[in-house]
A and B are shown apart, each in its own frame.
Chain A
């Protein structure tokens, strides 16, 4: 049972990774300059006020003591209380996670579709002006960071040709009759396409800004893999059997060429989630990334810890998923 063994091994390493991340983030945010108590001191506060506030937030104890108290809480599902909002961290973080996941998945879909089309087109019309044009476009897409794409999109589709919403996740005048926070997903299930259109109108620009660099990477790598595969014997055999070029590329070359791209997409997806921090800020999108920036600015230590742990969990889970998918698709790995 190699896959099950592999899964168990990865789950163990996941827990070890999460524990390591927890220790590092806990220590680092307490060691770096800027403590939350100094930020919340009102004018006229004295030494007594400082001591009172430190005791109130448990910052009067040593870092190991604080960590053990926090870890004890986490093991019971209590990630602490946010200093700025005075709400439970777990509740806050979980309420924002669906927004970020939906945005990331939408960006991934755009990137895979756009990158895939560009790669297939470039392979089909290789050696000509179209491929050269795709290479130039890829180069441009990669050399501009995602937040700059965001600004360009805001200017184009928010100001000059205002077809998309610039900020937020959903229009405030829409009442959401949903039971989860996966609004986009639930709007489809409930056939509320009016809400779906509004959500897409808000999500499209941030998702596209995130997707552009990833689409370029996918296009480059997949095109390269396809071109290499096109010279292999079995592809030549398919040609001699009389199959058309489109059939040869899509049915014969693509299944093998896609494997390295799949690994890359998995790794890049985690980077894409990391990229939401800046993009969500730019578009005032109510996701985890936006919340993370506020937490860092306000030195909201419990909230920073909660967000980082969740990000780490997502990263490890995505990597695990990629490994399993790769194993499922690759017969050599499947057999161990």
Chain B
């Protein structure tokens, strides 16, 4: 068959028609918002099981459910389903005021009874809430209209912070009791800005705007969230116009696409990169630890490996966390690192040797970052051997306190409280801690129950200073979350890293 000019034109016209059929383009005004999300949603109940403590799923949960206390985009708390909250003077009781005029997605009024039922369910030992040990610190609730009071069973200074954190969601008592756990999984309801219209596990969720939402109806009336776990496929989704918004794409792709037809927003989120030091040889030598910290040029790593998308940190507190203290510094000083190692008998010709563990591909450029750090260490007299493992092995080794002398990890803390960063990461008895020094345990232990908030925060700052001065951990940088979107949508990023469709509007 000969291909004439006329038939070629016909073929091209047919191709263009076919390519336009059913597939959205970037230039079209957005009626239904489509988001290519980076993780699957295994379960709808945000208060039980492993999904409930997965930080990357919280944006999905917060689209359908409300937390006890709402959280602003800068991590600060603001009135949500609870409009007022606090302790009495001697901190033996808690009080909460419940918002009036809120309805569940099925039209049933939301009440103080829902709040109490949710708190008691979360505190129940057999209930399956992974944060039960926090929720069980309050109880014996009394309801008087829209006012709830309860007893403090064990003083927990962060109890109200947790009401904006993992598993801190209000669940519909009447509905869960009526349909049971399986019925809830099949058709979940909440009080949140969107209602679940359709859910296909491992594929997508289609949301419909809650026109009665107490915080105002969302602008996009229909939102489809596709679960696209492969980064290359997510890039293709937005580049082709199949999706309007995506997140967690490689920084190079983010820059490339942002320079073209797409727009992008990148802001630091509450997730940091760090290297745990284990209190085993040779990390028991403070000179080795201090040299390992001083040898690392964090800014250079951020600039060269992360295209500038990262904020170097000196403690486990990111700048927007409550106990952040800018005066605590761990400067890059390779000469001083050499001196310290020399004092312990090490140097470039006689390096100190240890293993550093890392994941590969779990976080952006994780392996490359460790390679760069190993190169920097080598210059001062540290010879580290890289061991790659899966994140599951990291969890297992960390819980068993069997990590290598150095181990790369990332730590999320979307309430910005020091207990959920330095506290759990550095307090010896915690299964998440790696450094078990008695001196540090002695400093941290009194802070768990500290009732004076100023004193508590000052205490954590002192702990962070002690950790920095003794190089008990190597904080690296705060992650920046890249979000790509079509020009027709305006995306408001959240410091917690949650991608929230109800904060999106038409541009």
Residues of A within 8 A of B489 (CB): none
Query: In this assembly, does A121 line the interface, its C-beta being within 8 Å of a C-beta of chain B?
Result: no
Quick one: which of B36, B198, B432 contacts A167, CB cutoff 8 A?
A: B36
Segment of A30-38, A230-238, A323-331 in the binding face: A30-38
Given contacts A41-B431, A46-B429, contact A85 B42 (CB under 8 A): yes
A142 to chain B, nearest CB (A): 23
Question: In the bound complex, what is the Cα–Cα distance between A198 and B166 (angstroms)?
Answer: 38
Given contacts A40-B53, A86-B181, contact A162 B233 (CB under 8 A): no
The reply to whether B43 and A297 contact each other, CB–CB distance below 8 Å, is no
Residue of A nearest to B40 (CB): A294
The reply to whether A50 and B399 contact each other, CB–CB distance below 8 Å, is yes
The reply to whether B399 and A284 contact each other, CB–CB distance below 8 Å, is no
Residue of B nearest to A287 (CB): B202
Encode contact with A along B40-61: 1 for CB under 8 Å, 0 otherwise. 1011010011110100000000
The reply to whether B226 and A167 contact each other, CB–CB distance below 8 Å, is yes
Segment of B67-75, B239-247, B275-283, B313-321 in the binding face: B239-247
Question: In the bound complex, what is the Cα–Cα distance between A172 and B229 (angstroms)?
Answer: 17
Question: In the bound complex, what is the Cα–Cα distance between A37 and B419 (angstroms)?
Answer: 22
Residues of B within 8 A of A173 (CB): 32, 206, 224
The reply to whether A40 and B201 contact each other, CB–CB distance below 8 Å, is no
Given contacts A167-B226, A173-B224, contact A87 B185 (CB under 8 A): yes
A144 to chain B, nearest CB (A): 16
Q: Which of B396-451 contact A (CB under 8 A)?
A: 396-400, 419-420, 423-424, 429-432
The reply to whether B233 and A167 contact each other, CB–CB distance below 8 Å, is yes
The reply to whether A282 and B232 contact each other, CB–CB distance below 8 Å, is yes
Query: In this assembly, does B22 line the interface, its C-beta being within 8 Å of a C-beta of chain A?
Result: yes
Question: In the bound complex, what is the Cα–Cα distance between A201 and B229 (angstroms)?
Answer: 20
Query: In this assembly, does B230 line the interface, its C-beta being within 8 Å of a C-beta of chain A?
Result: yes
Question: In the bound complex, what is the Cα–Cα distance between A83 and B420 (angstroms)?
Answer: 25
Residues of A within 8 A of B201 (CB): 85, 92, 95, 286
The reply to whether B393 and A33 contact each other, CB–CB distance below 8 Å, is yes
The reply to whether B203 and A169 contact each other, CB–CB distance below 8 Å, is yes
Residues of A within 8 A of B36 (CB): 167
The reply to whether A159 and B392 contact each other, CB–CB distance below 8 Å, is no
Encode contact with B along A42-53: 1 for CB under 8 Å, 0 otherwise. 111111011010
Residues of A within 8 A of B42 (CB): 82, 84-85, 294, 298
Residues of A within 8 A of B143 (CB): none
What interface size band does chain A fall in?
Answer: 35 or more
Interface centre among A43, A46, A85, A155 (most CB of B within 10 A): A43
Given contacts A33-B397, A44-B430, contact A283 B133 (CB under 8 A): no
Query: In this assembly, does B307 line the interface, its C-beta being within 8 Å of a C-beta of chain A?
Result: no
Question: In the bound complex, what is the Cα–Cα distance between A237 and B387 (angstroms)?
Answer: 67
Interface centre among A35, A84, A172, A298 (most CB of B within 10 A): A172
Query: In this assembly, does A151 line the interface, its C-beta being within 8 Å of a C-beta of chain B?
Result: yes
Q: Which of B169-203 contact A (CB under 8 A)?
A: 181, 185, 198, 200-203
Interface centre among A36, A45, A167 (most CB of B within 10 A): A167
The reply to whether A85 and B43 contact each other, CB–CB distance below 8 Å, is yes
Query: In this assembly, does A305 line the interface, its C-beta being within 8 Å of a C-beta of chain B?
Result: no
The reply to whether A34 and B392 contact each other, CB–CB distance below 8 Å, is yes
Question: In the bound complex, what is the Cα–Cα distance between A169 and B50 (angstroms)?
Answer: 26
The reply to whether B390 and A33 contact each other, CB–CB distance below 8 Å, is yes
Encode contact with B along A183-198: 1 for CB under 8 Å, 0 otherwise. 0000000000000001
Query: In this assembly, does B237 line the interface, its C-beta being within 8 Å of a C-beta of chain A?
Result: yes
Interface centre among B22, B391, B398, B431 (most CB of A within 10 A): B431
Residues of A within 8 A of B134 (CB): 44
Question: In the bound complex, what is the Cα–Cα distance between A298 and B18 (angstroms)?
Answer: 40
Query: In this assembly, does B236 line the interface, its C-beta being within 8 Å of a C-beta of chain A?
Result: yes
Query: In this assembly, does B117 line the interface, its C-beta being within 8 Å of a C-beta of chain A?
Result: no
Quick one: which of A86, A281, A297 contacts B392, CB cutoff 8 A?
A: A297
Residues of A within 8 A of B128 (CB): 56
Residue of A nearest to B19 (CB): A163
The reply to whether B18 and A163 contact each other, CB–CB distance below 8 Å, is yes
Residues of B within 8 A of A33 (CB): 389-390, 392-393, 396-397
Query: In this assembly, does B227 line the interface, its C-beta being within 8 Å of a C-beta of chain A?
Result: yes
B430 to chain A, nearest CB (A): 6
B106 to chain A, nearest CB (A): 21
Interface centre among B125, B181, B430 (most CB of A within 10 A): B430
Question: In the bound complex, what is the Cα–Cα distance between A33 and B396 (angstroms)?
Answer: 7
The reply to whether B50 and A298 contact each other, CB–CB distance below 8 Å, is yes
The reply to whether A42 and B233 contact each other, CB–CB distance below 8 Å, is no
Residues of B within 8 A of A123 (CB): none
Query: In this assembly, does B141 line the interface, its C-beta being within 8 Å of a C-beta of chain A?
Result: no
Quick one: which of B40, B200, B240, B395 contacts A159, CB cutoff 8 A?
A: B240
Query: In this assembly, does A158 line the interface, its C-beta being within 8 Å of a C-beta of chain B?
Result: yes
Given contacts A50-B431, A166-B236, contact A286 B202 (CB under 8 A): yes
Given contacts A85-B42, A87-B185, A172-B200, contact A167 B228 (CB under 8 A): yes
The reply to whether B43 and A46 contact each other, CB–CB distance below 8 Å, is no
Residues of A within 8 A of B19 (CB): 161-163
The reply to whether B396 and A42 contact each other, CB–CB distance below 8 Å, is no
The reply to whether A294 and B399 contact each other, CB–CB distance below 8 Å, is no
Query: In this assembly, does A28 line the interface, its C-beta being within 8 Å of a C-beta of chain B?
Result: no
The reply to whether B392 and A158 contact each other, CB–CB distance below 8 Å, is no
Given contacts A41-B395, A43-B420, A45-B431, contact A34 B390 (CB under 8 A): yes
Query: In this assembly, does A168 line the interface, its C-beta being within 8 Å of a C-beta of chain B?
Result: yes
Q: Which of A44-70 contact B (CB under 8 A)?
A: 44-47, 49-50, 52, 56
Encode contact with B along A1-32: 1 for CB under 8 Å, 0 otherwise. 00000000000000000000000000000000
Interface centre among A45, A49, A158 (most CB of B within 10 A): A45
Quick one: which of A34, A87, A159, A297 contacts B236, CB cutoff 8 A?
A: A159
Residues of B within 8 A of A284 (CB): 202-203, 226-230, 233
The reply to whether A154 and B399 contact each other, CB–CB distance below 8 Å, is no
The reply to whether B130 and A162 contact each other, CB–CB distance below 8 Å, is no
Residues of B within 8 A of A75 (CB): none
Residue of B nearest to A164 (CB): B23
Residues of B within 8 A of A286 (CB): 200-203
Given contacts A42-B53, A282-B230, A294-B42, contact A161 B202 (CB under 8 A): no
Encode contact with A along B217-235: 1 for CB under 8 Å, 0 otherwise. 0000000101111101100
The reply to whether B237 and A167 contact each other, CB–CB distance below 8 Å, is yes
> 20 A-B residue contacts at CB 8 Å?
A35-B392, A38-B395, A38-B400, A38-B431, A39-B395, A42-B131, A43-B432, A44-B133, A44-B419, A44-B430, A50-B399, A85-B201, A86-B43, A158-B236, A159-B236, A172-B203, A286-B200, A286-B202, A290-B202, A298-B50
Q: A154-B232, A286-B203 given. 20 additional CB < 8 A pairs?
A: A34-B393, A38-B395, A40-B130, A42-B53, A83-B49, A84-B49, A86-B43, A86-B49, A86-B185, A158-B236, A159-B240, A162-B240, A162-B241, A163-B19, A166-B236, A284-B226, A284-B227, A284-B228, A290-B229, A294-B42
Q: Which residues of A contact B (CB under 8 A)?
A: 33-47, 49-50, 52, 56, 82-87, 92, 95-96, 151, 154-155, 158-159, 161-163, 165-173, 198, 201, 281-284, 286, 290-291, 294, 297-299
Q: Which residues of B contact A (CB under 8 A)?
A: 15, 18-19, 22-23, 32, 36, 40, 42-43, 45, 48-51, 53, 125, 128, 130-131, 133-134, 166, 181, 185, 198, 200-204, 206, 224, 226-230, 232-233, 236-237, 239-242, 389-393, 395-400, 419-420, 423-424, 429-432
The 6 A-B pairs of least Cβ separation, nearest first, read A34-B392, A38-B395, A33-B393, A43-B424, A286-B203, A42-B130
